[in-house]
Chains A and B, each alone.
Chain A
Amino acid sequence: MYSEDNLLPLSALQHLLFCERQCALIHIEQQWDENVLTVEGKGMHKRSDQSQTESRGNIRLARGVWLKCLRLGLTGRADLVEFHRIDSPGEGVALANISGRWRPFPVEDKHGRPKKDLMDKVQLCGQALCLEEMLNVRIASGALFYGKTRHRLDVVFDDDLRSQTEKAARRLRQLLASGATPPAVYEKKCDSCSLYEQCRPKLLQQNNASVWLTRMIREAVV
């Protein structure tokens, strides 16, 4: 169990899975591209500090839900958690100010399109693990909503995804505790990386600043 003041951001899981260097640049070095910052900033403003709930028949929509999981040491906010009304009395959770039993169902908005790798699913699963601990309930599935394709992808929190998520949380803690940023290795994914400018993977692989400077001096001063 981690203490409340030693929690790591849920959002870091997807950075970690995309690239450990990117994750370190953002969460250790606090370097981020202005674009990322503005996008995240705007998102934050839209959500505001208040969580909001609305009802749509048998679905309650809770936006901007604060999340934490002391077991994995994670914290963050969910865009949206839907609560679906269910009939079976022994299942789901009770909600304040409203009768009945409800099944939590996290939904996360993504700007892009569905990705081949696991990172969006892991982040969503992280949210589910938080909700499970907070509400003391088992959550079977959630959904990712992709803005580009306007496509809603259901995600089942099976054992494999759960263990991937827990593994990522452990690795995240190790990485951030080390305080060291892994070296850059240029790969194809770098071309779509929002921290490319800060990282400059091609340049840093050469690691040749002193050789370069000597050459510059020799060329200029004979």
Chain B
Amino acid sequence: MKKLLNTLYVTTQGAYLCHEGESVLVNVEKETRLRLPIHALSGIVCFGQVACSQPLMGLCGERGVALTYLSERGQFLARVHGPVSGNVLLRREQYRRAENPGHAVQIARNMVIGKMMNCRTVLQRVLRDHGEKQDKETLEPVVRRLGRLTNEAEREENMEILRGLEGNAANEYFSVFNNMITAQKDYFSFQCRSRRPPLDAVNALLSFVYTLLVHDAVSALEGVGLDPQMGFLHALRPGRPSLALDLMEEFRSCLADRLVLSLINLRQIDAKGFQKTESGAVLMNDETRKTVLVSYQKRKQEDILHPFLEETVPFGLLLHIQALLLARHLRGDMDAYPPFIWR
């Protein structure tokens, strides 16, 4: 199996990255703080005031190492892209299918099914592991409704209705999200999703981890030669990586949400790590951000059985594998796109 490589997250403000031969150097105040071989990296993510030398950008482009700039808060700014490689014929097929409603809905449907089933499994696990009586009464009906929505999605041929079903499922799931927070409830409470800006600490955490996931989804798609912008489920919008957003749907609950929940529930982060600004937006401090990054990386190292391949792989490779399976389906090697179903 392909090796899971590390992503280098640089959060130190004022850092300067360059390379010496095969090593990537992170310099802070003229002092080399870190030295890593480039072949051990799949990506470099720079937060805020971090500069990279031009030769390093070139090396990243050449080696297919994704180099991404995010704002200090984790908003996407830019990505460095090497020469376009990959299979132009595959991309043409991707565009064809995306433009053909009958084809697009087949792929989108399987992604939605994957997303719904994984949300459902997340809730079922909570019920199984520590379902109090009160939780049972709230969670069980949602689990049932998610099951029904899955069955409906399975038969749906119309993209707009499918998107509607997906929206319903997301609402169902987030309506009980707060029940899954079992510690520090006075500070970490969740009412509904707020994105721009996140209005509470839980939303700030979710948004941040989703950004990391988008970054990984974009690299995974580019790695197999697909265009991350040309999606099936998500409508096209300039600048939006629609296919990356499609691809990560299956992973939001079982990877990102569970990570956020365990950070809170295991008290790895606390209220002191957040700050409310005048506008009502909630920001996290550097230390909290680092804690999140470290546990995200750790989660990616954990092994999991891939249900379709029937092979144990690190969590962090799942996006790559799903991108590969999607490419295989587009090329006609497989009759359908098999989504990632978490069990």
Contact = CB atoms under 8 A, between A and B. Distances in A.
A31 B336 contact: no
A54 interface: no
Nearest to B333: A204
A99 interface: no
Interface in B249-304: none
Given A29-B87, A30-B87, A217 B151 contact: yes
B87 to A, nearest CB: 4
A29 B336 contact: no
Nearest to A210: B336
B74 interface: no
A96 interface: no
A209 B113 contact: no
Interface string B196-240: 000000000000000000000000000011000000000000000
B10 to A, nearest CB: 23
A73 to B, nearest CB: 20
Given A209-B329, A209-B337, A212-B338, A28 B151 contact: no
A204 B328 CA distance: 9
A1 interface: no
Contacts of A222: 147
B341 A216 contact: yes
A207 B334 contact: yes
Nearest to B124: A220
Given A183-B333, A204-B333, A29 B225 contact: yes
B341 to A, nearest CB: 5
B335 A208 contact: yes
Interface residues of B, number: 38
Given A198-B324, A217-B151, A179 B117 contact: no
Interface string A73-107: 00000000000000000000000000000000000
Contacts of B331: 29, 181
A105 B343 CA distance: 60
A31 B334 contact: no
B121 interface: yes
Which of B1, B120, B336: most chain A CB closer than 10 A? Answer: B336
A29 B90 contact: yes
A30 B121 CA distance: 37
Contact of B117 (A29, A204, A217): A217
Interface in B314-335: 324-325, 328-329, 331, 333-335
B308 A212 contact: yes
A29 B224 CA distance: 9
B150 interface: yes
A39 to B, nearest CB: 11
Contact of B89 (A28, A204, A221): A28
A34 B38 CA distance: 13
A20 B333 CA distance: 15
Contact of A207 (B2, B120, B335, B337): B335
Contacts of B117: 216-217, 220-221
B134 interface: no
B43 interface: no
Interface in A196-214: 197-198, 200, 203-204, 207-210, 212-214
Interface in A168-215: 179, 181, 183-184, 197-198, 200, 203-204, 207-210, 212-214
B39 interface: yes
A36 B302 CA distance: 26
B42 to A, nearest CB: 10
Given A216-B341, A221-B150, A30 B85 contact: yes
6 contacts: A28-B89, A30-B225, A41-B63, A181-B333, A209-B325, A221-B120
Interface of B: 1-3, 39, 63, 85-87, 89-90, 110, 113, 117, 120-121, 147, 150-151, 154, 224-225, 307-309, 324-325, 328-329, 331, 333-339, 341, 343
